[in-house]
Every structure is written in C-alpha cells, then in structure tokens.
Structure 1
Amino acid sequence: MRVMVKELQEGCILSADVYSKTNCPIMKKNTVLNNELINILKLFLIHDVYVEKTLINGMPFTPIEVLEDLPDSKEKSEQAALRLSDMFLRAVKEYKREFKSWQAGLPINISRIREIILPLIEKAETSISEIFTLHHFSTKDDYIYQHPVAVAILSAFIAKKLNYNKGDIVQIALAGCLADCGMAKLSNAILFKKTSLTVNEFEEIKKHPTLSYKMVQKVSLLRDSTKLAIAQHHERLDGSGYPFGEKGNKIHFFAKIIGTADTFHAMTSERLYRSKQPPFKVLEMMSEDQFGKFDPVILKALMSGIMNFSNGSKVILSDGQVGKILFMDEKAPTRPLIQLLNSNEIIDLGKHRHLFINEVLTEAIR
C-alpha cells in the first residue's frame, strides 16, 4: 500500500524500490525501516512510498497521523473540540500499538511517545476535574495500556502543582508513561492473568522497573534523572518498595511523584484481579493507612485536584445517599461537609469516619 513518509513507523517493510533523482534506488524493496532510514527518506524529500500491510513483527500496519505536521491553528482547534477523556482513549490506542511493538522486540520510539503524551498534558491543564474521572475508563482487559497514559497525566498534574518548569513536567510525564514499559518483556500469561498472582509470579512483576530502565537506558531524549525515576518508581520512603528497597532521600523526587500517581490510579481502577476503589477513599488510604510510604508534599499536591469538585458538587456517599458538598476544608479535602438531598440533613464526614464519598456525579464537574 502507498503511504506518506510522515506516517511510517519502525518495522515497516518496503514493497517497492524507492527512487530519488537517480537511476539507482536509494532503498530497495524488502528493506525493513527504522527511524534512521525513515529520516533518510525525509532528507531525500521522498513524499510517499509503498510498504507491506504487515510490520516486521507480524502486526498489521496502520498509518499514523503525525500531529506535529498539522497546521497549528487546525491542531489547536481539533484538540479544543475534544474532551480530555476522548484524547485519553485515543492516546491509549496509540500506546497499545507501541507496547505491542516492544513485545515484538522493537526499541522505544521516544518521538512517538512524546506525540502521544504532550497534547494530553497540555489539555489536562485546563481540564483538571476530568483528570480525576479517567479511572472510569479503565477496563480489566486494557488496564495495562490505560494505566501508563493515566500515570503520565497525573504525574504531570502533580509536577505542575509543585511549580516545576515545562521541561521538567514533560520529562516527568514521559517517565510516568514509560515506567511500565518493561512489562512488555513479561509473559502474557502473567500480564493478563485473571486470578491473584502467586508469589513467584509477583516476583516476576517486580522485575519490571529494572526491565523498564534497561529499555530507556540509551534513549538520548530522556534525562538521567528521568531514567532513574523509571527505575525507582516502586520504591517507597519507608524502604518497603522494590526493586532495591531504597529509603527517603535515596529515592529521586521524580520517582516519588510517579510512584504516587501510579498507586493512586492503580487503586482507583478496575483490574483483572482487584476491584477499583473511590478516589476520595484511596487518597485517604494513601495518607493514613499507608502513612510513611508517600511524600506528604506530593500527596497534598495530588489531593489539591479534588478541590476542583467545589461547593455545590453532587456526590454519592458509600451508603448510597446523594448529597452536595457544602464546605471543603483544604486541610481535610476528603472529608467535607455534605448536605443530603432527600432530607437536607448536614453530615460532617470528618466525624462520620464510616462514610466516605463514593462518587462525584459528572454533571457537577466544572
């Protein structure tokens, strides 16, 4: 099939010789393309080529749209018309394609990962409330692809709240997205197991931060601090994490951000062998039940996101009652004052510890 050069990806196979202004082809039929060869085609100003419908890894080839080649005004208007959730679902589809290429042995295409993630973190800056609804889109079968994209968005949100500059925010988001790339080196039998993992299987899962680090080690567009964050994203302040059981200041701050985002999204998502839990409850568990594992400054930045569910937002409590938020204390955002809609009774969740907010009704999100 005939495709534009800008739509090519690593693993494409030429189905016809490619000529420029010479009698001899600059690339011959059956050449397997990598990024270097694709760049050569661009240098020769080749507009389109013929490729096989199947990649070298056996996967079908679907031409990809390169957002950076769109006119700025068109790109911005198209993205502005989309909700964050729509962009998230599209990004997951693209990430899934990349993940499958890693499973087939292809290296990470960091430019492609940037194209997937950058529009999302820009959109998220103006769609903060939507960030805290992304867990609704997690499904048991596709969680492994949805999780890294969501972690990238959440990590960027936290970094923004902590006043990191744009360059750092991008690196943190990329680290969040690639933290689990090493999962591609594990067997599908473990990745998609529908029952609880055995001890030995969990030990295999615990290898993924190291595998991820090895996959990104030679990616020049990632800083050393970003690569270290990927390696350490499952370490915890109290030394209970893995793979090395590092403690406190021995864990890079970027890794602490990603680890917090990773845990939050995992606990609020539907997974193959674990049920999801409400975001308000998860934040409370992370700050109380898992006290000492996460940096309190980072947790506070993450919690600030739910302050966007402001006074008047409708909520469903854990006992099924519906109410609206009357007052949210910045010091205890998971425990606001609630007025029940059926009785007008006012409940202080700070004094009713057995109750918690189960859901924020989406029509109340601003």
Structure 2
Amino acid sequence: MKVRVEDLEEGCILEEDIMGMTSHPIIPRNTVISSLHIEVLKSFFIHEVDVGNTKANGDPLQPNLKLDTNKEKKSERTIEKDPFLPLYLSGVQQLKKEFQNWQSGSGINITTIRNIILPLLNIFEENQIHLYNIHLYSNKEEYIYHHSLSVGLISAMIAKKLGYERGNINQIALAGMLADCGMAKVRSSIITKQAALTEEEFNEVKQHTALSYKMVKDIPLLKSDMKLAIFQHHERLDGSGYPSGESKNRVHIHSQIIAIADMYHAMTSERLYRSSQTPFIVLEKIKEDYFGKLDIKVVETLLELVANLSPRAKVKVSNGETGEIIFTNRDMLTRPLLKLDQTNEILDLQKRRDLHIKEVISI
C-alpha cells in the first residue's frame, strides 16, 4: 500500500526500492523503516512510499495511513497478497510470548510450537523466494525470535532436499526452532547486549545447548535423535565445537543440518552487535572457512537450495545493477554468468570477484 512519508511509522516494511539519481537505491526494498529512514526520505523530498500491510513486529498497519485513492482500493481487491510474510511475522510474535513464558519458568508447549511453524513451512516450501529473503524480514531488536523460527524453516528445507520423508522434515523443523530455547535461561542482559560479548558472557551463552536439551528432553512428541541434534548443534566435525568437543561420526547428521542453517541465518541477518552479509557471500565463506568443520554434503545441499538459480532468474548485483542468469557452473554456484538489464552486457562473476549477487528478485 502507498503511505505518505509524514504518516510513515517505524517498523513499516518497504515493498519497493526508493531510488535516487543513481542506479543505487537510497533505501532498498524489504528494509524495516526506522526514524532515520524517515528523515532521509524527507530530505530527498520523497512524498509517498509503498509498504506492506504488516509491520515488522506483526502488527497491522493502521488503515488511516493508507492513501485513499480508487487505484489503491482496486489494487487491494484484485491483487492476492502472498500470505507468508504476515503469517511469519505473527509467528515471530507468538514465539516471543512463548520465550517470555520460558524465561518465567514455564515448560515448552510443543503443540504451540508445531502450530507456529508447520503452516509456515507449507507456504515456505511452495515459494522458494522466501528462502532467499527470509534474513531480510528479521530485525536486530527481536533477532533471537526471528532466528529460531528461520532456523527451523531452513533446516526443514535442507532435510527435504536431502530426501527426508515428511515426518522427519517436520521433526527437523521443530528441532531447529527449539535449538536455542535454552537462551531463555541465559541472562537477558546478555541477550540484549549491543556490543561484543566478553569471554565470561560467551561462556554463559555456550551453556544454552545443554539448557535447551534439558528443556526438550521430556517432550514425547520430539524424537530422541532430534533432542541430540539440539544438544549438538554447535559441535564441529574437527572437535572444535561445544559443549562436548565431539568430532567426526560422533556428531549426528541432524546436528549438522541445524548447525549450517543456524550459521547461514546468523551471518545473513542484522544483529545487535554485528552487521549482516549477503547470502551468496555467506555461502562462499561457509564453504571455504569451515571446510573440515561442517558436513560437506549438507553445505553443498544448502548451496544447491540457495545458489543454484535457473536461467532467467532475476538478480541484483552488489554494484546496484540488475540482470538475469544465463549460465551457472555447478562447481561455482554463487558466481553465475549474467546478462545485465541496463546494457545487455555479459557479466561473469567468476572473473569479477569484486562483485557478488546481493539479492534474488525473481526465480
């Protein structure tokens, strides 16, 4: 919907790039609007913007903010909105309430957790564009809730790609979502800290895997190997992980699925003390920097899911240009050959290491 800038509220999510006098957007689409963004828009004399019907905290946008035009009303009636984002944001807020209950000493209601993630998973599987964009839906103030829900969804997609049957895919989704439930037992001052953690604070955070296991161990609807995956999701194949320093075949494959989903979402998301990185750069770093630490089959599966784009998929490059994929080398999925929209030139990202895919626009 179109909203006047003077009526814009913090937490609104942009649906279209805000363009200036260059090929780079002033503010890219999917940005969660802050007070600073509003001031920037005013300084550029931009009078209205397109935003979603739901704010980042899950609240609906106030109806009196929408521009009252016949065109907009017709659009609202005739265009079917993708149900994923409103359902996802609502799920984040439901999980936040559950997390606060855990902080107060309540146990995990696995039925509630299932009811949050499984309907979302059905939509997530149908439209893969959300896999490319899910990190953009997060905000740093509520990162921990976004992260848990996203890890559950990404873990399930990896499991599906690996050929798991439906029951185990759903179980992996639950385990991924609950992997960090033990953070509810960590001091809230650490969770909300806006600077890098001290060694003492990080040691406390490292206890969350054991705390998570303690919270899920008596849930009969969660399989025992999923409980082990929750306990082990920070273990690494070379023995450098925690809490037990397990290595090689002593680290369960389900643990590796959640580990890689956890790492991928964390690195692509904005956090209180760390900025985000684009998915294609993160995939390259995971493959190169964590060789020997993570199961290569699972890493390659995530690469296939995110980076193996079909020809004619539309992407945005880090220099602001857009184009369509014309060829992908299976040995270098993150660096395809593109035909640029503006000039029709061919861009080979294998040769242009200074550039990378910043966003997937359509598939």
Q: Per the shorter chain, which TM-score range?
A: 0.7 to 0.9
- Would you say the 8 A contact 1:307–1:328 is kept in 2? no
State the SS of the aligned residue for 2:140. coil
CA distance in 1: counterparts of 2:239 and 2:129, whole angstroms: 33
- Would you say the 8 A contact 1:129–1:306 is kept in 2? no
Which residue does 1:239 correspond to in 2? 239
For residues 212-259 of structure 1, the C-alpha deviation after alignment (integer angstroms, 9 at most, x for no partner) is: 001111111111101100000011112221111211111111110000
Which residue does 1:129 correspond to in 2? 129
State the Cα distance separating 1:307 from its structure 2 match: 4.8
CA distance in 1: counterparts of 2:116 and 2:236, whole angstroms: 29
State the Cα distance separating 1:327 from its structure 2 match: 1.4
State the Cα distance separating 1:117 from its structure 2 match: 1.2
CA distance in 2: counterparts of 1:111 and 1:316, whole angstroms: 40
State the SS of the aligned residue for 1:273. coil
Which residue does 1:196 correspond to in 2? 196
Which residue does 1:311 correspond to in 2? 311
Deviates more, 1:117-126 or 1:97-106: 117-126
Structure 1 length normalisation: TM-score? 0.74
For residues 262-301 of structure 1, the C-alpha deviation after alignment (integer angstroms, 9 at most, x for no partner) is: 0000000010001111111111110112222221111122
State the Cα distance separating 1:171 from its structure 2 match: 1.1
In the alignment, structure 1 residue 112 sits paired with structure 2 residue 115: no
CA distance in 1: counterparts of 2:308 and 2:349, whole angstroms: 18
Give matches, 1:198-237, under 5 Å.
198-237=198-237
State the Cα distance separating 1:321 from its structure 2 match: 3.1
CA distance in 1: counterparts of 2:121 and 2:81, whole angstroms: 16
State the Cα distance separating 1:304 from its structure 2 match: 1.8
Which residue does 2:258 correspond to in 1? 258
CA distance in 1: counterparts of 2:269 and 2:308, whole angstroms: 20
In the alignment, structure 1 residue 138 sits paired with structure 2 residue 132: no
- Would you say the 8 A contact 2:339–2:346 is kept in 1? yes
State the Cα distance separating 1:163 from its structure 2 match: 0.7
Which residue does 1:279 correspond to in 2? 279
Which residue does 1:155 correspond to in 2? 155
Which residue does 1:44 correspond to in 2? none
Which residue does 1:12 correspond to in 2? none
State the Cα distance separating 1:356 from its structure 2 match: 1.2
Q: Which entry has the higher C-alpha Rg, 1 or 2?
A: 1
**Identity level (%):** 50
- Equivalent position amino acid for 2:350 in 1: G
- Equivalent position amino acid for 1:173 in 2: A
- Would you say the 8 A contact 2:132–2:360 is kept in 1? no
For residues 13-59 of structure 1, the C-alpha deviation after alignment (integer angstroms, 9 at most, x for no partner) is: xxxxxxxxxxxxxxxxxxxxxxxxxxxxxxxxxxxxxxxxxxxxxxx
Give ranges in structure 2 of 5+ residues lacking alignment: 1-79
Deviates more, 1:113-122 or 1:148-157: 113-122
The alignment's C-alpha RMSD in Å is 1.6
State the Cα distance separating 1:353 from its structure 2 match: 2.1
CA distance in 2: counterparts of 1:103 and 1:82, whole angstroms: 33
State the Cα distance separating 1:106 from its structure 2 match: 0.3
CA distance in 2: counterparts of 1:235 and 1:83, whole angstroms: 36
State the SS of the aligned residue for 2:141. coil
- Would you say the 8 A contact 2:283–2:334 is kept in 1? yes
- Equivalent position amino acid for 2:139 in 1: T
Deviates more, 1:106-115 or 1:329-338: 329-338
State the SS of the aligned residue for 1:102. helix
Which residue does 2:354 correspond to in 1? 354
Number of equivalences: 284
Which residue does 1:291 correspond to in 2? 291
Which residue does 2:84 correspond to in 1? 84
- Would you say the 8 A contact 2:129–2:360 is kept in 1? no
Which residue does 1:300 correspond to in 2? 300
- Would you say the 8 A contact 1:99–1:184 is kept in 2? yes
Change (3 A) 1:91 1:282: same
- Equivalent position amino acid for 1:275 in 2: S
Which residue does 2:28 correspond to in 1? none
State the Cα distance separating 1:82 from its structure 2 match: 4.4
CA distance in 2: counterparts of 1:318 and 1:128, whole angstroms: 21
